[in-house]
Amino acid sequence: MTGGFPGVGTLLNAAAVVVGSLLGMLIGNRLPERTRDLVTDCLGLVTLMMAALSAAAVVDPALTTAVGTGAPVLIVLGSLLIGGIAGSMLRIESRLESLGDAAARWSARRRGRALDGAAEQVEADRFTQGWLTATLLFCVGPLTILGSLDDGLGRGIDKLAVKSVLDGFASMAFAASFGIGVLAAAASVLVVQGALTLVGMLLGAVMPAAQIAALTATGGLVLAGIGLRLLKIRQVPVGDMLPALIVAPILTSLVAR
């Protein structure tokens, strides 16, 4: 499938998230709380499954060939440690929570709702959880990277078209539980995939398969943290771990050399 212009695949993906989120919010308001909790549990389990599939990239032949059979796990561990420490020092998680607080208050005002302190915090947590969960789910993985680069290189939007269908259904399910925060993830899709498409346009295939595999495996473990949060097992500070996604391909390049 050939796009009419570079970036059309990202626009299609963002539109699918918007439509799915709106449908999810419409359905979610009509569901009892116990049903929304069940949906959240199902999403947590599916997120763990997707995390496992992504983490399996640690044994990708391209990665093991580039750095050796013993190094991939250490690369992922090092990426999480370095990225997590950096994210903790930068207070990314708390900054995201502050962003969620502001967005929740704005959303409440737009809907004419007056929230007391406790209800406002619940709304803010719900927004942040929805936005962060959906952003990680939609923006981490081989389809995001390869699809966006293919779009920028003029190779078509086949990968992003498939991803759009998947993200549309996922956003519908997430929005039924988390509401408008999932809708905000459409902006994350535009920014992340738009940037990768631009990279593809300007620099060509800039990221070898080994770096993509390391990024995917590291992202899988971050997704696992999201799954644990959804299942209310442990509130893993996944926001602080986001820099690991930048560290992973850099560390892979250093080890390969």
Query: pLDDT tens across 65-96, in order?
Result: 999 988 999 999 999 999 999 999 998 888 77
Burial category of 41 from C-beta neighbours within 10 Å (exposed 0-12, middle 13-18, buried 19 and up): middle
The Cα 79–Cα 215 span in angstroms is 9
pLDDT at 162: 82
CA-based end-to-end distance of the chain: 37
DSSP codes of every residue in 97-154: HHHHHHHHHHHHHHTT----HHHHHHHHHHHHHHHHHHHHHHHSSHHHHHHHHHHHHT
pLDDT at 80: 95
**How far, CA to CA in Å, does 139 sit from each of 32, 66, 131, 145, 148?**
30, 25, 12, 8, 10
pLDDT at 251: 95
pLDDT at 92: 86
Torsion angle in degrees (nearest 10) through CA of 70, 74, 79, 84: 160
Position 254 pLDDT exceeds 90: yes
Residues 182-207 as b or e (16 or more Cβ within 10 Å = b): bbbbbebbbebbbebbebbeeeeeeb
**Residue with the larger pLDDT of the pair 99 and 246:** 246
